Amino acid sequence: MRKKVIFKGVALPLLLLAPQLAITCVFFLWPAGAAIWQSVLQQDAWGLRTEFVGLRNFEEVLVDPAWREAAWNTLVFSAAVATSAMAVALFLAVQADKSIRGANLYKTLLIWPYAVAPAVAAVLWLFLFHPSIGLIGRALNQAGILWDYKLNGGQAMLLVIIASAWKQVSYNFIFFLAGLQSIPRSVLEAAAIDGARPTRRFWTVVFPLLSPTTFFLLVVNLVYAFFDTFGVIHALTGGGPGKATETLIYKVYVEGVQNTNLGSSAAQSVILMVLVIAMTVVQFRFIERRVHY
């Protein structure tokens, strides 16, 4: 039996909720409202005159080739980050699920990257991949592979993908490990007795039983790659070289803060807002269904 506390009136509940509501209002609703309002306005270059332009900012954004390129970058980047972060995490979780010596230390170490701030993570990878001072970067150049992510767009993309994925591996790892541990041991033993070797067992029993976790993580990782990687990109490549690593979220910043084109920047962030709401809805729908097989 679940215990339900029922309050009389509205004053006390409101008071108890007030801190959370205040934070939501100040940091989410107000800026979101401001962005929506800003997205239908246009200012002149000096910020002296502001006029209402309706949906024109949106129309301009959607046909802008630069925006489309950023959208394509985002797609490539997010897909790569999500799949690599999940694949690596799943592999590590499978290893951790075996009863190995020092499993606890191994698990603890794996969780650390999650606690590292994005900028710090970026600097860490910079020290590894910088062409002249980075450990790996120098080695690559000495081995005759021309490595300079400041000139080569493809390499820059690879670097931000690696750094962003690395940060997300911990989170995925925890969920995959929990998912693996919730699979009854006897089911795996039954499969072993049925004649399935470990690899076969993994693909026909373990992986299908993990599918709820996998789907949940897919959404979380995509949202992460879309919206939470600004810090890593900013510190590593600043969107460059050229616009090679400029994702949609980074473009919002470039447009609004560097080019001071507030109307367009606001329209872009509203588009992103709609996207994240859509993803959240998909995820909630899914979680409600809970049992999937």
Partner 1 sequence: MASLELTGIQKAFGATQVLHGIDLAVAEGEMIVIVGASGCGKSTLLRIVAGLETPSQGSVRIAGREVTGLEPADRDIAMVFQNYALYPHMSVFQNMAYGLKIRGTPKAEITRRVGEAAELLGIAALLERRPRQLSGGQRQRVAMGRAIVRQPKLFLFDEPLSNLDAKLRVQMRAEIRRLQRRLGVTSLFVTHDQTEAMTLGDRLVVMHAGHAAQVATPMEIWARPADTYVAGFIGSPAMNFLEGVLVEGGRAVLLRAGPVLHFADGPRAGPDGQRLIIGIRPEHMRRDPEAGLGLALDLVEPLGSETVLHGRLPGGEALTAKLHGAVPAAGGALRLAIPAAELHVFDAASGRRLDAGP
Residues lying near partner 1 in the complex (CB under 8 A): 184, 186-187, 189-197, 200, 204-205, 208-209, 211, 291, 293
Amino acid at 104: N
**CA–CA distance, 94 with 202 (Å, rounded to integer):** 9
Residue 209 neighbours by CB under 8 Å, 6+ apart: 179, 183, 187, 293
Residue 259 neighbours by CB under 8 Å, 6+ apart: 265
Between the CA of residue 82 and those of 68, 182, 206, 229, 262, what are the distances in Å?
21, 23, 20, 12, 31
Structure tokens, 267: 């329209």
Nearer to partner 1 by Cβ, of 79 and 196: the residue is 196
Nearer to partner 1 by Cβ, of 3 and 185: the residue is 185
Q: How far is the CB of 291 from partner 1 (least distance, A)?
A: 8
Q: How far is the CB of 189 from partner 1 (least distance, A)?
A: 5
Structure tokens, 177: 């490990």
Q: How far is the CB of 184 from partner 1 (least distance, A)?
A: 7
Q: How far is the CB of 105 from partner 1 (least distance, A)?
A: 20
Nearer to partner 1 by Cβ, of 114 and 216: the residue is 216
Q: How far is the CB of 205 from partner 1 (least distance, A)?
A: 6
Nearer to partner 1 by Cβ, of 211 and 280: the residue is 211
Nearer to partner 1 by Cβ, of 72 and 203: the residue is 203
